[in-house]
Structure formats: structure tokens, C-alpha cells
Amino acid sequence: MKRIAPALVALSALLCAVPAIAQTIAVPASAVPASAVPAGAILANEPAWLSLERGRRAYADKEFGAALMAFETAIETRRDSFSAAALRLDQALLSKPAVEAGDSISAALAAFAADDLLQTDYRRISEASRGSLRALLEALRAERISDSHRAFIEALLLAMEYGPPERFGDSIGALRRELDDLVSYPEAEYWKGKVFLLEGELELAERQFLRAFDMRQALDVPEDRYAILYDLAALYRTAGDDAAWEAVMKRILADDPVAGEPPLDPFLRQAMMDTLLDAGFDRFMTLYRLEPSFSLEANGEMGGFYLERGRASAPLHAAVAVNMVLTRAVSMLRSRDRDYAWAGLDDFLSRIAARRDITEYLAGQGLNKLLLTLGDALYVAGARRSATPLWRVVAASGERPYAGVAARRLAEPASAVRTAAPPMNP
């Protein structure tokens, strides 16, 4: 398959600069019938987040044209509303109360209130808000106040629609930067990319995912950046572009405290690997616990990818993935058996045999595939004694195709040196 966007193989420190997508689709609100509004249709003056939700519903219903229109409307609405709010805030900041307040939002609100309201009225409004900043702002907006005061309040309320006020704290400067960030709508850009991907438009989908990631500072949920990256990686895998896929996976793992390059604590990572290679997996699990996180899938995938290519870091990524999965499973077991202590993988698997919730979780996470990859990686790294117990566990599981592959490893350990992953299906 033809490589897409060859210039992005290194992804420019992963996707730092991306041109705006040339094609946009807009629909005037007046063109939508008032009755029987479809999931992706746009209502006049609806907020950007509602257009996004309509687009998601249309996407789920496979109404991709309607979804694209809703996402584009969400992007335009958000851009227009935040651009206007930023302009009005800039004008409000030239007023005397704002200048006297310096960088403090609370001081500016107090100064505006002192100019526009009687102290008794302001005290009444404040008490009625019961400590809620949003309630206070809404109540003040309903009063007869100056245009600058109103613009300041409306900028605050608009920013609070898309994230908690902790994002800008008490800083007017941080609020102003927040408005600049929120002009972008990465969620809508991302969902446009998902539509293009389903329609087979790989280049358009790639540009949308890159664009959404470049706007990640404006994400309502910061962790959603990893969903964008995982979909981008899936796109490159579909396109057969291993170099670009690896670059995206590396970017995901860059935020992993253990498997990142460089790791946050290189001494901890080295100690973990020394334990795994020298003392074996059971000792490794006794000493270390890694809670499942955004990097679980990436570590599992990279363990196999690097093993097939003879990379020395294959055991690290495979071990991190297995540890994360088993850490969650151990927590599930301890929710009912608080006295449980790790006594080895065989003991653990025998204890959970009757716990359907745990066995289903482990099956869903592909534990046997991960254990097989880890065993193979340990053997290739020269730790045959650490690899053999893992192969035995997988062989005893009976899960196809991994049990058969593990049985072959026990009979022919050198077969662990692989150039292709074991088949996904029996």
C-alpha cells in the first residue's frame, strides 16, 4: 500500500505543526427543517458542545454526511464564540476596575461590583450564590451592569462551559490564554477524522487526527490526547506504514514514567529489569505494581513489535503491559480477599479460577498473548529460566493459538526467536 504523508515518518517531534484541512463543510441553521430534526442536524444558536453531541449520534447511526456537518458547525460555532469573547474581554480589560485589579479575577469582579452595585445588593447576591462562582456570575449578569463588567463575566462563564475554573485559577492572564486555546475544538476535529477513516479517506483522516492532537491543550479531558494518538496509530497500521506507527507509539510512551524515553526514574526501571531477568517473573510481581494507564495498549503492542525486530527493549514493554494487567486483577481479587498476597502466577491463577469477573477481564486484556510475548522476549534476552515458567502457564491455559505456540516453545525454545507475531485467530 502507498505510504501516506511520507514527510511525516518522523512526525516532526510528533505532529507539532499541521496545516489546516482545506475542505470544510458548513450548513446554515436556517436550512434545517424545524420538525423531526435528525441526529446530525443543527439547531439555530445551539452551543458548540451540542453540535458535537449531535454529530456523535449521527456517527453512531452511520449518518456520516450529517455527522460531518454537525462537527464542522461545532468547530465554527466554538471558534466564533471564543474569538468574540476574547475580543470583548480585551476591551473590558482596558476599563478602570480591570486595570486596578491587576491579574486577579476575584479583584476585578470586586472592583466591577463596587462600581456597578450597592454593597448591600452585592452582599445579597453573594450570599444567595452559596459559594458557587457560576451562580454568582449568572446572578451578576442578570443585573444592570456596565458593558465591561458584562463582557468580563461572559468570558468567564464561556470558559467554564468547557472546563473547570481551576484551569485558569484567579489569573486574568491565564483566562485570556484559555480563551485563545478554546478557539480550537480538538474533539470535533478528531471526530471528523474518525468519519474520514471509516470512509477510507486516509489522508484526510490523518490530517484531522494530527490537527486535533496539535490542539490538545484545549481538550476538555486531557487524557483524550491518547485516544487521538491510538486512532492515528491504527490509521498508519492500516496504511502499512510501520515507521509512522512506531513514531506515534513512541509519543504515547513518552509520557509513561517507566517505559518512556527517557524514563522518569531510570534507576527504578533498571532495578525492575534486573529483577525480571535475574530473579524471574514471580519475584518481579512481588516487588513491583504498575497501575493500568493510557500506555497499557502501547506497551503491549511495542513489546511484540520490538521482539520481532530484535530490539533490546522488548522485555521492558512486554513486562510493563503484563504487570499492569495483573495489578488490576490482583486489586479485583483483594476486593473480596483482603489478606491475599502474591505467591506466584500459578497460585494466583488457581485462586481466580472461580472468579468469572477476573477471568473475563484477563481474557479481554489478552493476558496469554502478553505472557507469551514476555516469555519470548525474556528468552531472546538470555533469561531462559525466567521464560520457561511463563510458557508453561500459557501452554496449560488451552487458549488457542497461544497454548499451542507455548507448547512448541517448551519443546523448541529457539522458536522464540520470531520475525512475525503469532496468528491472532486459531
Q: Which of 159, 182, 205 is the last residue of a domain?
A: 182
* Phi, psi (deg, nearest 5) at residue 323: -60, -45
Output the pLDDT for position 419: 78
Q: What angle do CA 228, 80, 178 make, to 5 degrees?
A: 60
Query: Alpha-carbon distance 390 to 375, whole Å?
Result: 6
In-domain check, residue 290: yes
Task: Using alpha carbons, select from 275, 262, 263 the residue that is nearest to residue 319.
Answer: 275
In-domain check, residue 277: yes
Full domain range(s) for residue 99: 93-182
Residue corresponding to grid cell 441526529 = 39
Output the pLDDT for position 133: 87
The dihedral region occupied by 58, where left means phi > 0, alpha psi between -120 and 50, and beta the remainder, is alpha
Is residue 242 within 8 Å of 250, Cβ to Cβ? no
Task: Give the list of residues 6+ apart from residue 85 with CB closer than 8 angstroms, or none.
Answer: 151, 154, 155, 158, 159, 179
Output the pLDDT for position 19: 33
In-domain check, residue 59: no
Same-domain status, 164 and 289: no
Q: Quick one: cell of 269? A: 526501571
Output the pLDDT for position 421: 52
Same-domain status, 178 and 282: no
Query: Alpha-carbon distance 160 to 183, whole Å?
Result: 14
Q: Which of 161, 182, 203 is the last residue of a domain?
A: 182
Q: In the chain, what is the straight-line distance between the N-terminal and C-terminal CA atoms, in Å?
A: 26
Task: Give the list of residues 6+ apart from residue 33 with CB closer than 8 angstroms, or none.
Answer: 41
Same-domain status, 274 and 391: yes
Output the pLDDT for position 165: 86
Same-domain status, 279 and 406: yes
In-domain check, residue 117: yes
Is residue 326 within 8 Å of 286, Cβ to Cβ? no
Task: Give the list of residues 6+ apart from residue 246 with CB closer than 8 angstroms, or none.
Answer: 302, 305
260-296: b (≥16 Cβ within 10 Å) or e: eeebeeeeebeebbebbbeebbbebbeebebebbbbb
* Count of structural domains within the chain: 2
**pTM of the entire structure?**
0.82
Max intra-chain CA distance, the chain: 88
User: Which portions of the chain are predicted below pLDDT 50?
Assistant: 1-10, 12-37, 39-40, 42, 423-426
Task: Using alpha carbons, select from 157, 161, 155 the residue that is nearest to residue 177.
Answer: 155
In-domain check, residue 155: yes
Same-domain status, 174 and 273: no
Q: Quick one: cell of 177? A: 490564554
Same-domain status, 150 and 274: no
In-domain check, residue 27: no
Q: Which of 167, 182, 197 is the last residue of a domain?
A: 182
Same-domain status, 394 and 301: yes
Task: Give the list of residues 6+ apart from residue 144 with CB closer than 8 angstroms, or none.
Answer: 116
In-domain check, residue 320: yes
Output the pLDDT for position 262: 87
In-domain check, residue 403: yes
Query: Alpha-carbon distance 178 to 82, whole Å?
Result: 10
